[in-house]
Amino acid sequence: MNEHYPFINPPLPYAYDDLEPFIDKKTMELHHDRHLQTYVNNLNAVLKDYPEYQGLSLTQLLLYPDILPASIRTAVKNNAGGVYNHIFFFSTLQKPSAAQPDNALTAGITRQFGSMGAFQKAFSDAALSVFGSGYTWLVRTSHGQLKIITTANQDTPLPGNMCPILTLDVWEHAYYLKHYNKRADYISNWFYVINWKQADKNYSRCRA
């Protein structure tokens, strides 16, 4: 996320229909081409007249909002968050795969939560508990612990000094076309399309 203004919408690292039948093609098209694109467009529009902040990366914009003028702070936070969260979310999905790789992350999850099943239960409960729009995350805290957290709207874990490993977008636009109002079904389907290899890479980056 070291890119800076003008921000772009990177293509999905898989085909729109690769996550079928768990997440449908139409949802992925709209989610990537319209929802994420809108955050990209809005962020660029906000920064257009502020060349002095156009060299800041997405992460810097989110980590250091206080350096921005108050007049654009909220708009930058919401739209940079929307860009960051969606790119991160999309990057941790993949074609359904039966094999769960054993790696440092799965070992860390087992250590922290007792078992992969216990982690899934805790993550699902957290995702169901998000009131309104937001995200559920697996993060590494500054003390080196794995933790499940939730964020509202397009807030990110970054200002809390937490390093993101995995996230689930629970805004209704992420699931309504296929799962209607049944967020629980969407959450249980999501577990089939998690890109654990990418999540493990994120975990390594968090520990570096």
Footprint of Mn ion on this chain (CB under 5 A)?
Answer: 169, 171, 174
Residue closer to Mn ion, measured from CB, 56 or 58:
58
- Give min distance, CB of 47 to Mn ion, in A: 21
Cβ 82 to Mn ion shortest distance, Å: 8
CB of 75 to Mn ion, least distance (A): 18
What residue is closest to Mn ion based on CB?
A: 169
CB of 98 to Mn ion, least distance (A): 27
When the beta carbons of 39 and 113 are compared against Mn ion, the nearer one is: 39
139 or 174, CB closer to Mn ion? 174
Contacts for 180 with CB less than 8 Å, ≥ 6 apart: none
Q: Which is nearer to Mn ion, 167 or 202 (CB)?
A: 167
